[in-house]
């Protein structure tokens, strides 16, 4: 069985501060891992994807995530938060069969 846990349903950071959104997964087989971002009243769009090519994955808008197998984690980071980063972020896991499992989301607030 696969599942995703996102620690912290709400995260607030100051503009310019480090963004760290946590994601832990469980998977019985090597997984694909994803981060999606959802801006208000919009659909989910892909931020980045891990497919085993490299453990550090760079995505759009300056975000990156590191796959740590020993910790079963795939935390999302950005060195310096921008006001435009305020959104809902979803971590997801998939393996074979195109079944996707999503976390419950983390709402990021950026304080000016």
Are 60 and 47 in contact by the 8 Å Cβ rule? The answer is yes
Report the residue number, 40 or 112, with the smaller CB distance to another protein.
Answer: 40
Report the b/e string of 80-90 with b at 16+ CB within 10 A: ebeeebbbbbb
Report the residue number, 17 or 32, with the smaller CB distance to another protein.
Answer: 32
By CB under 8 A, how many residues form the interface with another protein? Answer: 21
CB atoms within 10 A of CB 97: 6
Report the residue number, 14 or 51, with the smaller CB distance to another protein.
Answer: 51
* Contact residue for another protein among 45, 55, 61, 80 (CB under 8 A): 45
């Amino acid at each position: 069985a696969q599942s995703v846990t996102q620690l912290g349903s709400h995260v607030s950071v100051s503009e310019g501060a480090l963004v760290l959104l946590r994601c832990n997964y469980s998977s019985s087989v090597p997984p694909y891992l994803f981060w999606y971002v959802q801006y208000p009243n919009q659909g989910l769009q892909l931020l980045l994807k891990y497919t085993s090519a490299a453990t550090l994955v760079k995505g759009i808008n300056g975000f990156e995530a590191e796959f740590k197998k020993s910790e079963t984690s795939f935390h999302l980071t950005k060195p310096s938060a921008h006001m435009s980063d305020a959104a809902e972020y979803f971590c997801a896991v998939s393996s074979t069969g195109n079944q996707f499992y999503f976390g419950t989301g983390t709402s990021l607030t950026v304080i000016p």
